[in-house]
Amino acid sequence: MAHEMTEYEFDKDLTRRLHELQTPVPNYFCRWSLGHFTAFLVIFMGLLWLLANVPNRFANPSTLHVTVVLGTLGLWRFGWWFTHALRAQVYAKTKWPGMRRRADKLWNEGWRPERLHIQMTTYYEEPSITKRVIGSILGQIRQEQIPTTLYIGTGSAYDELIIREFVETYAQDIPDNLAELVFIRQNQPGKRMAIGLILRAICRSGASPDDLVIFMDGDALYGNDVLRKTLSMFGADPDLQALTTDEEVICYGPQWIAKWLDMRFAQRRLAMQSHALSGRVLTLTGRMSVFRGRHILDEKFIRTIEADHLNHWLWGNFRFLSGDDKSTWYHLLSKGAKMTYVPDATVYTIEVIKENGLMRMVQNFRRWSGNMLRNGARAIALGPRAMPFFIWWCVVDQRLAMWTMMVSPVMAVLGSMILPGYFWNCIIWVLFSRVVLCLFLFGYSRRADMTWPFILYLNQVINASVKIYMIFHLSKQKWSNRGNQSAGGGTGLLETSKNSFAKFQLATAVSAFLMLIMMYVGLIETPFG
C-alpha cells in the first residue's frame, strides 16, 4: 500500500508500474498467462460437466413461463451488449483510422492551437503523484512547443509549495512565453468551486473561443504524446467541441479492487468507442477531457459548474457536490455539440485505496450512480431530436437496466420455490454468460483474468442495487475530497421527514417489484384470479 511506503519507495514502484503499462499491448492470445488459461479450462470443463449432469429444468412446464422471461431479458441485454461490441469494432476499424490520419497529417504540417489552457485541481495529493503529474505535463509542453497556461486549483499552500519547488527545479529550460504557471487558491470548499475560479481566470486572460482547454485531475498522468494525439483532433475537425481519452488505472489497494477497476476500464473502452460512432459520448471524464473554448468560457456554463442543481419534488432545490464532468457533458449535449473518444491517447489515473475495498466500491457506485441519475433525467427530457437516437436510447437504457438486472436473480430464487434445483440451472447460465462476456472484454484489456466473470456479476448486482437506492435518494451526496462535503442528510424535522418518506418510497417500490414477480411466477394469486 502507498501509505506504508516512503516517498522514494512509492516513486520507484510507480515508475515500474508505468513502464509496464506503457509497453505495447500484447495480441489477444498473448494476454493469457498459464494460470489464467488453466483456470479457463477448469471453468469450461466444469460447465460442460454441469451441463451433462445437472437436469435441465428450464423447459419444465411448471417453470417454462419463468424461463421465457429470463430468456427474453437475456436476449435483450446481451443483444444490446453485443450491439455495443459491434459498434465499437466499426469505430475502431473503420471510422477511427481515418480520423487519426487526418489529425496526424495536419499536425505534421505544423498546425498548433494558438493557446492551450490546462485546468487542474489538486487537494493534499501524494507528493510523488503531484510531481509525476506536473512532470508529465511540462514534458509534453516542452516537446510540442505549444504556448500553455497551467492553472492549478488548490485548497492550501501545501500543494502549491510542492509544485512550485518542482517547477523551479525541473522546468528551468522552458521559457516563460511558452509555459505559464498560475495558482488559484479557492475560497470555498469543493472541486466545482475550484473549477469555476479557474475558468473565470481563463476568461480574464482574454482566451478566444477557439482556444483549447484541458480539464484534468491532480492524479492523472499523461501517457506518451497525449497532447499531440488529442489537440490535433480539433484542428482536423472544426465541428468537434470536446473529447475524452483512454484511461488506465494504477491501483494501490486490495488486489480484487485493482482487478475490478481494470475490468471497469475495459468496459469503458468498449462503450466509449460504441458511443463515439454517433459523435457523442456519455461522459466527459474529469480525469482528462479536452474542450474547445466556445461553449465553456461563458458565464452560464461557469455558473453551471459552480452551482449546478436539481429542483426535485421531494428534495427541493439542491446543489450537486460532485459530478462536474456530468454537468459539463449535459451542457454540451444540450448545445448539440460534437464529442468523441480518442482510444490511442492514454491517461494513467492513480487510485490509492486505504479503506475497506467493498465500501470503496459502494461509495464509488453511489457517486457515479447519483451523478448519472441526476443528469440522465435531464438528458432524456431533451428528447431524441436533440442528439443521435442511439445516444438518447443509451441514456434511457441506463435507467431501465437497474431494474432488469435484478429481475434475473429474483426470478431464479423464486423459480426454485416452484421447482427445486431451478436456481442451479440459473447459476450455470450466469457463469457461462459472464465467461463469454469477459472473453470479449479481454480484447480491451492488457491481460486475461478469469476472476473477471465473478467480479463482473458482483459489479452488476451491486451497481443495480445502489442505483435503485439512489433514485429515491437523489440529494444524498458525499464527497470525501476537498473539504469532506456531504448533502442530503441532516437531523432536522424536515430533513428527517424527507428521508423517512424516501425510505418508504424505496420499500414500496421494491415490495411492488417483488410482488409483481411473485404473481407472475405463481407464488401468490393475482387480484383478478
Range 264-277 burial, b when 16+ CB lie within 10 A, else e: bbbbbbbbbbbbbb
Give the pLDDT of residue 444: 96
Q: Which amino acid is at 102?
A: R
pLDDT in the model for residue 488: 60
Model pLDDT, residue 487: 61
CA 27 to chain centre: 25
Dmax (CA) for the chain in angstroms is 83
pTM: 0.92
Q: Where are the alpha helices (DSSP H) in 120-190?
A: 127-144, 157-170
CA–CA separation, 266 and 289 (whole Å): 18
- Cell numbers of 409, please? 436473480
Nearest one of 169, 165, 164, 170 to 150, comparing CA atoms? 164
Q: Do residues 482 and 123 make contact, with C-beta atoms less than 8 angstroms apart?
A: yes
Could you tell me the sign of the dihedral formed by the alpha carbons of 157, 158, 159, 161, in that order? positive
Per-residue exposure over 126-156, b if at least 16 CB sit within 10 Å of its own CB, e if not: bbbbbbbbbbbbbbbbeebebbbbbbbbbbe
Q: Which CATH class is domain 112-389?
A: alpha beta
Cβ neighbours, 10 Å, residue 444: 22
Residues 6+ apart with CB under 8 A from 492: none
Helix, strand or coil for residue 172? Answer: coil
Within 227-323, strands assigned E span 240-252, 288-292, 309-312, 316-319
Please tell me the distance from the alpha carbon of residue 197 to that of residue 184, in angstroms, as a whole number: 7
pLDDT at 367: 87
Q: Single out the residue of 521, 514, 513 nearest to residue 416, CA to CA.
A: 521
> Which grid coordinates belong to 308?
449546478
Cβ proximity of 367 and 478 under 8 Å: yes
Number of residues that this document lists for the chain = 529
Strand partners, 222: 347
Check if the beta carbon of residue 216 is closer than 8 Å to that of residue 118. Answer: yes
Residue spans per domain, the chain: 2-55+399-521, 112-389
CA distance 30 to 350: 26
* 3-state SS assignment for residue 493: helix
Specify whether the CB–CB gap between 426 and 70 falls below 8 A.
yes
In terms of Cβ atoms closer than 10 Å to its own Cβ (0-12, 13-18, 19+), residue 382 is middle
pLDDT at 258: 92
Instruction: Locate 75 and state its grid cell.
Output: 436476449
Nearest Cα neighbor of 188 from 437, 417, 482, 441 is: 482
Please give the average pLDDT of every successive group of 10 residues along the chain, which has 529 residues.
72 91 92 94 93 91 94 93 96 97 96 95 88 93 94 90 91 88 86 92 93 94 95 97 96 92 96 97 94 92 88 83 89 96 96 83 87 90 95 94 93 92 93 94 94 94 93 78 58 84 94 94 76
Angstrom distance (rounded) from CA 128 to CA 22:
19
